[in-house]
Structure 1
């Protein structure tokens, strides 16, 4: 893995939704619609947010939502063409931003050009999680491994820095172990993140030769503990997270293209800051899902079109965003800035030092560096029985910075570190 990933903070964008693309593929022979260029208008916004790269959802030719790919070597005409990708990569690189693409290699559309590569399930083809139009590839076939390797090589050669491997949990890790070594020899700095929902994360990374997997356990515990007033769930997840940090650096998040937005999950909007304080003060490679930094709301529903609300179109430029979202954007800026000033946090080990249902203190360390995070979600002020000697407030919910630490006000939070931080 390229060491650059130790400093990565991703702005995660679903391009088909972001650019307002039609829900279905254009008629055959249609001219490309250069919507991908709209993303160029938002690169400075991502830089100012504090991010160091774009993690893009599907951009390849597909029939509908991008996960029913028909050709991994062709940009979806609803988004543009190869020249638009080259423009975006060049514009991103000029700003110091890297780009990661979404590789959907577990399943494809039934219109994919190689039906001989489909995995059979009796008399019919195997499908992905009951979706009849998403046909599973037969990963045991050498031709499939060769194809995936060629796709990865092709776009890495065009300037992208890595891949999010969609639905990796549905692919045996040994498939990646066959594909990735050759790709890494040709692109030694490439970064590979697998989408894994549950199970033995560390084993999957080790067996597959990936750099990381998505940390869904921590995601769920963050919003759920705040929603239910139960920090014991988060404490358990942080213990599990710390164990994972012993073998790899998880990809962390509080929102993505597949889940209800954080602002819609929480019953108390004041606790959105608590979620961000956790995300940016524990180990991992964090991402921010577009719109979350503006406190967008959206509920995922289990129906056709049920993802539309969480994959909205963005306006032409930032000046058209609603004024009510900018305080949350500035909160993201502050905490991402704190994270970037303490880049050691990417590999930090974390220990919970104090715990009640609605109050938690945890300390993240690496060598001589440390950060103490205090969270209070109760209606009363809370005094934490923790050692804060030598620490100062790096950020907090108290705008004047004069909270009488280690006491936090109701629904307060604070991040403490040493003077040099």
Structure 2
């Protein structure tokens, strides 16, 4: 099934609302009368100026803590506000031409989920017990990756299928444009294949992206009927190759990426709410530009994690509260900066070349520390030269099979027309339009 047509132009600005508006962690927690979800409206113009065409929201439904322990999928988290606040956010986003992507957790629920409380109180014979997976007959309810506060749903249950279908439809009817499906890798593909086609019968233009980390992305997309999945393989290859001076890893990742593009267009990123920020992940801060160049000159549906465009730093740690550093509160709109201008420029370049959405890459020159690739689709091509070496990189276009070209952007390089040869400085990069 082809993705909705609007996705070909989608560039997401992703936020984690509970942290973004200071609702979690917070002591005391804000109440619905504070309407904190509306604070996101104040940032929508920033998203537009950045060049984004949509906002990807983290969890906004009722939960006890971080949002991924949902207690009621039909209710806006009281720490964020209420239905009217959601409606206002969607209306304001759509007025600006911004799509809205929601984050749905249907692999597990929090311990205050109504059916779970009924199952606990009513015992194993209570009808609500069928909603949840057990480790064995009459044994304790299963959990998500050992987290006792996250109770695993039973995806073989007809009630869970119906409930999930109803939730997806409900918020699409209220104006959402699509869903990120959390922990989709832990849910049987056949469950999504039961749910999503039914939702599409009513909302054919909705987009569904599954959170998948490892495995056979293509098989998962086809079996689950997703439109896309999260491209963690490419995310890792980008920062790891830059840190290690090993562009062979990036080239291998891009070859894999080409294979995925034969079937679907992955959601691509260099940062999100679950990983160390790219400015902290990279050992050389000069290489943040390289990471963004790769993201925005290769095939995919790109996502920018809020704060990365201002050079935010933050390290994810494997401990309770270990996500807090990468999910901070945002109080003031960002000041102009080199990194912000750089994001705006490259996103603008991406939007001027929408064919990059499905572009595949071909290596033209490859060493550990110097890499030239061509991104190509039916409507155009670009040559990208990356250098993380201490020596300059000479780019001879005739040797690359192109008689001449124009330098569109580069490390300290003004645009140059009708060049046949140029040089990429140490730890620099260039984007060239071939003639």
Question: What TM-score range do you get, normalising by the shorter chain?
Answer: over 0.9
1-side partners of 2:26 and 2:70: how far apart? Answer: 12
The correspondence for 1:120, drawn from 134, 138, 151, is: 134
- 1:56 equivalent to 2:70? Answer no
- For normalisation by structure 1, the TM-score amounts to 0.95
| Deviation at residue 388 of structure 1 after TM alignment | 4.0
2-side partners of 1:112 and 1:281: how far apart? Answer: 43
| Deviation at residue 33 of structure 1 after TM alignment | 2.8
Unaligned runs of 5+ residues in structure 1 are none
SS in 1 for 2:34: coil
| Deviation at residue 24 of structure 1 after TM alignment | 6.7
| Deviation at residue 352 of structure 1 after TM alignment | 1.3
1:270-289 correspondence runs (5 A): 270-289=286-305
- 1:186 equivalent to 2:202? Answer yes
The correspondence for 2:386, drawn from 375, 380, 385, is: 375
- 1:13 equivalent to 2:15? Answer yes
Note closer, same or farther for the CA distance 1:127–1:260 as it changes in structure 2 (3 Å cut): same
Q: 1:255-303: CA deviations, max 9, x gaps? A: 0000000000111111111111100011000000000111100000000
Matching residue of 2:350: 339
1-side partners of 2:154 and 2:5: how far apart? Answer: 33
Q: 1:202-254: CA deviations, max 9, x gaps? A: 00000011100000000000000001111111010000000111010010000
- 1:69 equivalent to 2:70? Answer yes
1:219-368 correspondence runs (5 A): 219-315=235-331, 317-318=332-333, 321=334, 326-368=337-379
Matching residue of 1:400: 414
SS in 2 for 1:203: helix
| Deviation at residue 181 of structure 1 after TM alignment | 0.7
SS in 1 for 2:19: helix
2-side partners of 1:353 and 1:50: how far apart? Answer: 30
Unaligned runs of 5+ residues in structure 2 are 117-127
8 Å CA contact 1:106, 1:137 repeated in 2? yes
1-side partners of 2:33 and 2:104: how far apart? Answer: 21
Q: 1:51-109: CA deviations, max 9, x gaps? A: 00000000000000000000000000100000000000000011000100000000110
Matching residue of 1:4: 6
2-side partners of 1:362 and 1:322: how far apart? Answer: 34
- 1:91 equivalent to 2:92? Answer yes
| Deviation at residue 391 of structure 1 after TM alignment | 2.1
Q: Which one is further off, 70-79 or 361-370? A: 361-370
Q: 1:374-408: CA deviations, max 9, x gaps? A: 00011111113524424211111124346994421
- What is the number of equivalent residue pairs in this alignment? 413
- For normalisation by structure 2, the TM-score amounts to 0.92
8 Å CA contact 1:25, 1:78 repeated in 2? no
2-side partners of 1:369 and 1:31: how far apart? Answer: 50
